Structure 1
């Protein structure tokens, strides 16, 4: 009897432990299983990449606080030419052309201090980091595209031919990487394995000379195969490039698919469109994926049918300026002009573009950002001065809603990035970052 009682006592103690062990094993198995919905990386809800999103549309859904004010500034130590990124946690990513020290920094939104910073090889200064939902950045330098964890440790390196351009998520867990020499890669964001066979769009791609043609990228010259970030349509599994074929007289918009064939992804050309005078800058995609926009070297905005490449309309913009634009889901377009150009709002009418309004009294010096609140943010040169201000205007009538000074600013800005909380970040080309937050959030720190 005593032995039986002791056995029951031991058994009663073991059962909970066994149950705990079984539960732990089950959780471990689940964690290691193919839980794609939970673990595959996707673009951060913040300003996750160049152009703010996969489409390069520079459009923001979060509402910007009414009590917005300057929270902090930080010098980078060198000129800034690439737009900023902002993660889901509002961390600000910035690259700069510095002579020494860090040339890629991730800044804390509370005070502008460095979460981490890195010294990387040439090419990083033209890159905007791609950020996933775990605050993990992906960014390139000559010969290499790298994935990092949120603390700044390298997760993997991928050798590339040339200088990688800003990456984009093409599907959950899959990063699209293009390079200045025309190489196109689709990479598993966790394992760094190819999610599709690589494509080399030009036969003169030279693995032994990573900066071959790189000097032509600023001017969109013929030796730079791809000078700007792609626009990606994840719903239709296709992307669009500014591509200069070897030996061609001008660059073109090229559409490519990465859809599955026989159970595996393959990248191939869908169509190409020869834009008069050639293409300048990155393509921009409409929210519904139906239209792709590009600037021509002749100063036109060209709207193409995204499925066929046929021209829907052209609009004489009077120049291509920064060769970038902001596009809203309802078809509003703000083209970026030359430094000091008026702020202009267009509307896509399907078969033509019409001017909604123009503010000739505003000398713009930045790419603009359209918002879901029927406003647009841009940076303008203060009247009669060299200083700059961050300005919000109504898209309804172009009226000014508010003006926020950028202290000690000159030159131009690289764009206006918006966090999931509606915070704004701006960088000037002389190398200074400005971060705006709500007054109540600043006071509560």
Structure 2
């Protein structure tokens, strides 16, 4: 009886400790790039580059519709679980298994979630925005928390201390606990705080206000792109303030219990066209604008080091592999620009390949993008040193354009079309 009593008491004590652990602030969930594709442009730098080995022979594993359009790149956990957002009725954030395409969960959140990126931690918890909130779900789709914000998060990233950085299209910046969703520092406003004393009738805009302009970096979308963040929690964000002639690139820092501005440079003509992307050494941030330029900026001073004209306005991410920049853009062709220090050089250009996606770079100079071939779309495997095509695989019956190219933990390549179909390719024939 004593032994049995001791066992019961021990189990009860363990249960109490377990329950107490649910409310602790201790966070042992890892974050970081890992071997999946945990952010829409792979990592906090927005580099579009993974250390996973590429393959010179890819083959289609499966394809399937998701039931609605897709606007953001697919993210992939290190165990191969896919995450995406759509606006398909009651199904707005969904997850699929990379080996089979089987749906793991499909949850209803706000319809504006289609415009919000997803980001995944080391335990396959997903973080995603919608109409006026940041949400977190575990790998089974069970809700973890929901925190109200003003607007729709167009940027989500992890800070060095494992919190979630959220920036909405209306310019609200928050740092949230991954465990509870609570704010870790006071909210910052990139457009300044509203003056309710001078304007007592001022009302809060609708959560989705200006979202339509985010696709092209238009003036009604203050923050149109993802942020790039370094190991010191310095992050870079594009901001177009109302009434200003051009958009700005700003350097911000999360430190000492607050979010503060380091510098702001207003040079993005006709608005920002790409997300900022950081060099590996953190000394240069690259960005594109709607005047068809790539711009290299000193991260300490905010001063441009060089500008490189393109024949089209870049869109979405810029893949940054060593000193090589590979821009995306459905109006352009596959090309690479080399950062030569005080100027840029064209490394190579493939004017025969009209891009319909975004480049993703694997190890061993192997990269992938989607191009228009005839009336259809093909996954193009190419060599980053020369631009030469290594492999070409059709996306059966695919039309239009794609939202991004993501590389899985075993070298799989996942592509989502804007009309709402997933294609997964695997190494080997």
Pairwise CA distance, 1:381:
1.1
2:354 equivalent to 1:363: yes
Out of 159, 163, 168, the residue aligned to residue 179 of structure 1 is 168
2:136 equivalent to 1:136: no
1:17–1:116: structure 2 CA closer, same or farther, 3 Å change rule? Answer: closer
Match of 1:423 in 2: 412
Where does structure 1 lack aligned partners over 5 or more consecutive residues?
A: 1-9, 441-445
Pairwise CA distance, 1:377:
0.7
5 Å matches for 1:248-267?
248-260=244-256, 265-267=257-259
Pairwise CA distance, 1:319:
2.4
**C-alpha separation between the residues in 2 aligned to 1:343 and 1:374?**
15
1:386–1:101: structure 2 CA closer, same or farther, 3 Å change rule? Answer: farther
Out of 276, 281, 293, the residue aligned to residue 288 of structure 1 is 281
The TM-score, its normalising length taken from structure 2, stands at 0.89
5 Å matches for 1:4-403?
38-39=28-29, 41-42=31-32, 45-65=35-55, 68-98=58-88, 100-203=89-192, 207=204, 209-233=206-230, 235-260=231-256, 265-277=257-269, 278-328=271-321, 330-339=322-331, 341-382=332-373, 385-403=374-392
Preserved CA contact (<8 Å) 2:382 2:388: yes
Match of 1:3 in 2: none
Pairwise CA distance, 1:207:
3.5
**C-alpha separation between the residues in 2 aligned to 1:220 and 1:67?**
36
Pairwise CA distance, 1:31:
6.3
1:225–1:424: structure 2 CA closer, same or farther, 3 Å change rule? Answer: same
**Rg larger in structure:** 1
**C-alpha separation between the residues in 1 aligned to 2:411 and 2:17?**
37
Pairwise CA distance, 1:62:
0.3
Preserved CA contact (<8 Å) 2:30 2:123: no
Secondary structure of the 2:209 match is coil
Preserved CA contact (<8 Å) 2:92 2:111: no
Secondary structure of the 1:218 match is helix
Q: Provide runs of 4+ in structure 1 moved above 4 Å.
A: 16-37, 40-44, 203-206
Pairwise CA distance, 1:410:
1.4
**C-alpha separation between the residues in 1 aligned to 2:413 and 2:403?**
13
Secondary structure of the 1:145 match is strand
1:54–1:18: structure 2 CA closer, same or farther, 3 Å change rule? Answer: same
1:373–1:41: structure 2 CA closer, same or farther, 3 Å change rule? Answer: closer
The TM-score, its normalising length taken from structure 1, stands at 0.86
1:398–1:190: structure 2 CA closer, same or farther, 3 Å change rule? Answer: same
Preserved CA contact (<8 Å) 1:173 1:190: no
Where does structure 2 lack aligned partners over 5 or more consecutive residues?
A: 195-202
